[in-house]
Amino acid sequence: MDLFAALVLQIIYGIANLVLISIGLAVIFGMMRVINLAHGEFLMLGGYSVIVATNNGVNIWVAMFILAPLIVGLIGLIVEWCLIRFLYGRMVDTLLATWGLSLFFIGLITTIFGAQTATTISAPFGAITIGEYSSSGYELFLICIAVLMIILVYLLLRYTKLGLVARGTMQGADMAASLGVSTQRVYSTTFGIGAALTGLAGGLLAPITGILPTSGAIYIGKAFITVISGGTAILAGTASASVLLGAINGIVAFVIGPTMGEVALLLLAIVLLRLMPQGITGRFFKRSL
Amino acid sequence: MNRSRETKALISIGIIGLVILFGAPHSLDLFSVISLTTAVSLAILALSLGLIWGFGGILCFGQTAFFGIGAYAYAIAALNFGGSTGAILAALIVAAASAALLGYFMFYGRLSDVYLAVITLTVTLILYSVIRRTSGPEYKIGIAKLGGFNGINVPPINYPWDATQFLYPEHVFYVAMVALLLAYFLCVWVTKSHFGRVSVSIRENELRSELLGYDVRLYKLCMFTIGGAIAGLAGIMFANSIGRITPDVFNLYNAALAIIWVIIGGRGTLIGPVLGALVLFYMTSFLGQQSVVNINLFLGLVLIVFVLVVPKGIVPSLIQLWDQRRSRRMTARSAKKMRRRGRSRVKEAPVEE
């Protein structure tokens, strides 16, 4: 029974982890149909913001919840302003340019902090015990944060003026523009918010994984697969794909091993896309957010 | 006119290739020949991506997956068979088959550009993390241990059906260069064939080609498989020139490099990606020796600048520039002729595409 509870907690954490690393990407993809290949580097920048700030004496909570999203959000706005806005409607070129950006950030951070920054920060919670098994309290905390992030994005999209305008632009950019919405501004705001969410996630994950200039690569495979399998509905897509892929990953990882867990996640996603090329929300929950 | 220029260009490429093939081992020292072998094997990889992206319109971000699969399959097969003859064949088949399998899911699922790019990239990254974790002795195929992040020592290539006669590095260069030339002219032939022309029409307008009765999915799948096989060939040559194959072939940096070669050289040409790979290989190894500019920083900037400023790549842009200058010269010449005839109206000379 205890083993079962620990296993379920582990699987739920896997799902929450997928939600955390992919929600920023999903916001940008759902809104602009743009896959940001520098997503992993946004996570990495979030992690660096937290580590550098904490090492300079900033309170870890301030660093995680305020500094990381703020810094990465600002970087996102700058990127949108200097690069992405020239490439709207050219999806392939956007992919390539953001890949260039990803290499650029890796190079920049390596130049500033060196390739082997071993400075880590410890997770602010200790272990919790379930019967004879112990689990990390910080993972439990991250599960709550993932749920809160989904609720936050839902509230933002559903009940604010910005959310209304954003949903309108998502459904029909031309119509929204002819009704007087500046789609340009909606896009840049979306990009900024997506980047800020990514920065927050990167900052939150930094104590668990540690951070290197190349750590972005660890996340992006899973984040891309989750967002693409989910489809264009931001929340329903991310949530359903995370649950499905995270559960398979967790179960296979428990039965066979962590490596096969990742392989199973990928294979499931490829088969899923063969059956539903538009992602899960292309077939189900079509009208959801 | 245009066709004769193309023939001329192909003949000169062939001659230059032969000159390098026979000239390089005699005029360069051993170290340069070995690094040239590596560059040539990467050029084959660039060629395969140039074929499927530039002519098939298939945006594959994970061409290095088939490159790495080819290299690993060669190493494993050569260790198990005790010779390279069958191993080369086996590696080509494995690379082509894995491309066909992945292609089946992508093209028959009708995934579009962006999805395709992301799936191929993800497959490559997952291969990277899977192979990295195979360091234990329990991970082996036949007698070949996969070796995790240390990789596999690759047995050198030998004379056909004679496993005792190993090739020396200079000879491996001959093999690699011949492979590049063969692959190049194979690609030229593919793009000139009926199949290649249909593929180009699919690249230009998928719906229209489909309405004309072509099975778009099948054409794309065939193109992708050919590309996979050529990438596998590149992997075999790469493994032989380095002598060791590690999971790093699957990492993000190498996947990006392949894309950058093609972007810089130019999509829609075959020589462009080859030149892009050769130039960038020497440029990155030069940059790797100094510590002023970080190499990722440099490559990132190059990629961004090319996408924004020279999206066509260098070779097509040069051809365009050349044509413009020529047509301007011809316009000027015909204008002079017209003036001599005393006419006031000057007709524009037809602009060549």
* Same-domain status, B223 and B319: no
Same domain, B64 and B192: yes
Counting residues of chain A whose pLDDT is more than 70, the rounded percentage is 97
Cβ-Cβ contacts under 8 Å, A98 against chain B: none
Q: Which residues of B touch A113 (CB under 8 A)?
A: none
CATH number for the domain whose boundaries are A2-116+123-283: 1.10.3470
Alpha-carbon distance A272 to nearest alpha carbon in chain B (angstroms): 9
Rg (CA), chain A: 19
Q: Please check whether residues B182 and B103 belong to one and the same domain.
A: yes
| Residue B19 confidence (pLDDT) above 50 | yes
**Within-domain flag for B210:** yes
Q: What is the CA radius of gyration of chain B?
A: 22
The answer to whether the beta carbons of residues A197 and A25 sit under 8 Å apart is no
Q: Is the pLDDT of residue A87 over 50?
A: yes
Do residues B142 and B80 touch, judged by C-beta distance below 8 A?
A: yes
Same domain, B320 and B284: no
Positive or negative, the CA dihedral A133, A138, A139, A141 is positive
| Residues B196 and B329 reside in one and the same domain | no
Q: Which residues of B touch A116 (CB under 8 A)?
A: none
Interface of B with A (CB under 8 A): 59, 61, 102, 105-106, 108-111, 113-115, 117-119, 121-123, 125-126, 129-130, 133-134, 251-253, 256, 259, 263, 294-304, 307-308, 311
**Domain assignment of residue B255, yes or no:** yes
Q: Could you tell me the two tokens for A247?
A: 């559960």
The answer to whether B259 contacts A99, with C-beta atoms less than 8 Å apart, is: yes
Q: Which residue has the higher pLDDT, A130 or B255?
A: B255
- Helix, coil or strand: residue B311: coil
B220 domain residue, yes or no: yes
CB contact under 8 A, B303 and A259: no
B162 domain residue, yes or no:
yes
The last residue of one of the domains, among B280, B296, B312, is B312
C-alpha angle B94-B99-B101 in degrees, rounded to nearest 5: 95
Q: Is the pLDDT of residue B252 over 70?
A: yes
Q: B55 and B117 share a domain? A: yes
* Average pLDDT for B42-62: 94
pLDDT computed for residue B346 by the predictor? 46
B175 in the same domain as B163 = yes
A-chain residues within 8 Å CB-CB of B105? 270-271, 273-274
pLDDT above 90 covers a percentage of chain A that reads 38
ipTM associated with this complex: 0.87
Same domain, B242 and B306: yes
Q: How far is B9 from chain A (nearest CA, A)?
A: 30
Confidence check: pLDDT of B312 > 80:
yes
Share of chain B above pLDDT 90, in %: 51
Query: In the numeric block, which tokens belong to residue B141?
Result: 């195929």
The string of DSSP letters for B54-115 reads IIT----TTHHHHHHHHHHHHHHHHHHHTSSHHHHHHHHHHHHHHHHHHHHHHHHTT--HHH
Inspect the interface and report whether the beta carbons of A270 and B311 lie closer than 8 Å.
Answer: no
Q: What is the mean pLDDT of residues A36-53?
A: 92
| B243 plus B335 within the same structural domain | no
Please state the pTM of the whole predicted model.
Answer: 0.89
Parallel/antiparallel/unpaired status of strands B140-141 and A127-130:
unpaired
Task: Indicate the domain borders of chain A.
Answer: 2-116+123-283
How far is Cα A96 from Cα B302, in angstroms, rounded to an integer? 11
Nearest Cβ partner of B114 from A35, A274, A275?
A35
Number of domains in chain B: 2
pLDDT number for residue A118: 57
Residue A57 pLDDT greater than 90, yes or no: no
Nearest CA distance, B299 vs chain A (angstrom): 7
pLDDT tier for residue B171 given thresholds of 50, 70 and 90: confident
CA separation for the pair B22, B39 (Å, rounded): 16
DSSP assignment string, B225-259: HHHHHHHHHHHHHHHHHHSEE-GGGGSHHHHHHHH
Strand, coil or helix: what is B165?
strand
Mark whether B324 and B342 lie in a shared domain. Answer: yes
Residue B219's pLDDT is 95
With a cut of 60, say whether residue B25 has pLDDT above it.
Answer: yes
Q: Would you state the pLDDT for residue B333? A: 80
pLDDT for A172 equals: 85
In a domain, B15, yes or no: no
Domain containing B318: what range?
313-353
**Gap between the Cα atoms of A172 and A235, Å rounded:** 19
**B102 and B229 Cβ atoms separated by less than 8 Å:** no
Q: Cα(B79)–Cα(B146) distance, rounded to whole angstroms?
A: 11
Residue B343 pLDDT class (50, 70, 90 cuts):
low
Sequence-distant (≥ 6) Cβ neighbours of residue B25 within 8 angstroms: B33, B170, B173, B174
pLDDT in tens, A111-134: 888 877 656 677 777 677 766 777
pLDDT at B155 (0 to 100): 84
pLDDT for the residue B5: 81
Q: Which residue of A has its CA nearest to B295?
A: A107
Q: What pairing do the DSSP bridges indicate for beta strands B158-159 and B140-141?
A: unpaired
B345 lies in the same domain as B255: no
Instruction: Give residue B342's pLDDT.
Output: 59
C-alpha closest to that of A167 among A201, A196, A190: A190
Contact across the interface for A220 and B307, Cβ inside 8 Å:
no
Going by pLDDT thresholds of 50, 70 and 90, the confidence category of residue B1 is: very low
What gap in Å lies between CA A281 and CA A48, rounded to an integer?
Answer: 34
Out of A45-54, A125-134, A222-231, B229-238, pick the least confident: A125-134
Q: Does residue B23 lie in a domain region?
A: no
Q: Are residues B78 and B182 in the same domain?
A: yes
